[in-house]
Structure 1
Amino acid sequence: MSGTNGTLVILGMAIVTFIIKAAIFILGGRINFPPLLRQALGFIPVTVLTAIIVPMVLAPRGGGMEFHWRNPQLVAATIAILAAAVTRRQLLTIVVGLSVFFAWQAWIAG
């Protein structure tokens, strides 16, 4: 994804998410949403975040997919997923992911 297109996609996703969340917040007391729709709307932030993160992890240089050990984003994301699954602690997962990323990047560059 090129810089301009990527920025437009991110802005578009942010606007759509904002409008949906604002509509629920403003109209939430006046409109009774079906339980299935209410549950589905709860997944929007996770979906948007995933749509932003996955391309950055799998294709960090904007080219093709980089499924190898020299991709620090992929290594750090994999370790962070494992840390999240084992500990269920968000802050620890972030610290582990960032630590692995910077350490792996320094090791690869050095």
Structure 2
Amino acid sequence: MSDWVMWSVFIAVGLGTFVMRVSFIELYGRWRMPPLLNRALVYVPASVLAALVLPAVVYPNGHGDFTIANPQIPAAILAALVAWKTRNTLLTLGVGMVVLWGLRWVVG
């Protein structure tokens, strides 16, 4: 691939990304969004966080093999239960870390 083509692709992708982001910012105040879309957008932050965290929990060290002996999975499950029941962020983090450290200490 020549330098000219590569720079053209970089510029086109950059402009496309810029136009997509600006369109949401500029058009959000001018157009009325349907109530169904507004309700759906409430769940975007949680789903993005789950998409970022889940691979790190299930596939530690970036390996593509799923192992049951992974101590991060039970720690994440217990932390999720604490978060669901208490809605307390600090308690969730504390429980998750204590369980993870405890399982790593027991497993060795």
Q: Counterpart in 2 of 1:11?
A: none
Amino acid at match of 1:64: D
Q: Counterpart in 2 of 1:91?
A: 90
- Structure 1, unmatched stretches of 5+, are 1-14
Separation in structure 1 between the aligned mates of residue 46 and residue 39 of structure 2, nearest angstrom: 12
Larger Rg: 2
> Which of structures 1 and 2 has the larger relative contact order (alpha carbons within 8 angstroms, sep 6+)?
1
Q: Counterpart in 1 of 2:66?
A: 65
User: 1:33 offset after TM fit, Å?
Assistant: 0.6
Change (3 A) 1:86 1:41: closer
- Structure 2, unmatched stretches of 5+, are 1-16
Separation in structure 1 between the aligned mates of residue 104 and residue 30 of structure 2, nearest angstrom: 52
Separation in structure 2 between the aligned mates of residue 95 and residue 33 of structure 1, nearest angstrom: 39
RMSD (CA atoms): 2.5
TM-score by length of 2: 0.66
Amino acid at match of 1:100: V
User: 1:64 offset after TM fit, Å?
Assistant: 1.2
Separation in structure 2 between the aligned mates of residue 63 and residue 108 of structure 1, nearest angstrom: 21
TM-score by length of 1: 0.65
Separation in structure 2 between the aligned mates of residue 23 and residue 79 of structure 1, nearest angstrom: 37
Aligned residue pairs: how many? Answer: 89
Q: Percent identity?
A: 39
User: 1:63 offset after TM fit, Å?
Assistant: 2.2
